[in-house]
Amino acid sequence: MQSMNATIAAQGAMFLLPDPVTCFRSASYAQKQIFHLSDNASLLVLDWITSGRSSMGEEWVFARYHSTNDVWVDGERIAKDVMLLEEPGTNTPILPARSMGDRLAPYSCYATVILWGPLVQSIIEKFTSEYDQISVFKAKIPSEIIWSLSPLTSKGGAIVRVAGKETETVKRWLGEALVMIQDIVGIDVYRNAFLS
């Protein structure tokens, strides 16, 4: 179990931009991240997972992945985002059991981006503008990448969820979508997160 408990003071900021979690065969991974912010603090959390070590034939063969992101602003919880991936236990009489790979196909990388605060407001507005222009239609072939946007509160903030057929496709998409953070975190941090 990996645990993080962070406090971001007034006018402070935290940009958490790790590499994606990549689990090996039969691995069981859990993380819990808690963020306590002042009202005018800023936060960008990237939490993402790949299907596994595909070069070794390990795709969606880990036992369990459990990630929790808890965001509090001035003592009020504004988000609790949980992702739980595990192989099914016993078969239910209603539905036949499907492997994790079958349930998550055709995508091999899933990402969640949590955004809050004045330093990322322009990014939230960009996402909102682009999302408002998306048309939903049935496609015969799944897209290389799909994404959604959910507002956090009436005061602001957003959660973006992304799924892609390839990790590099998701990484490239995130790099383009979050390019404005270069001005905040610097070009070297940005390049290390999305271009290396």
- pLDDT by residue (tens digit) across 184-194? 999 999 999 99
3-class DSSP state of 51: coil
CA distance 82 to 65: 10
- What's the confidence (pLDDT) of residue 35? 98
Other CB atoms within 10 Å distance of the CB of residue 193: 20
Q: Give residue 136's pLDDT.
A: 72
Q: What is the pLDDT of residue 91?
A: 53
- Beta-sheet strand order (sheet of 76-86): 2-8, 28-37, 64-73, 76-86
As given in the structure block, the two tokens for residue 83 are 């992702």
For β-strands 2-8 and 13-16, DSSP reports them as: unpaired
| DSSP for residue 75 | T
Domains of the chain: total: 1
What pLDDT score was predicted for residue 155? 87
Residue holding tokens 């799944």? 142
The answer to whether the CB of 81 falls within 8 A of the CB of 160 is no
Site of tokens 């990237």: 46
Write out the two tokens for 17: 């931009």
Residues of the chain with pLDDT under 50: none
Q: Identify the burial level of 119 via C-beta atoms within 10 angstroms of its C-beta, where 0-12 means exposed, 13-18 middle and 19 or more buried.
A: buried
- Print the domain residue range for 114: 2-194
How many Å apart are CA 142 and CA 73, to the nearest integer? 37
Whether the pTM exceeds 0.75: the reply is yes
- The pLDDT, as a whole number, for residue 93 is 61
Query: For residue 39, what pLDDT is reported?
Result: 87
Q: What is the DSSP letter of 121?
A: H
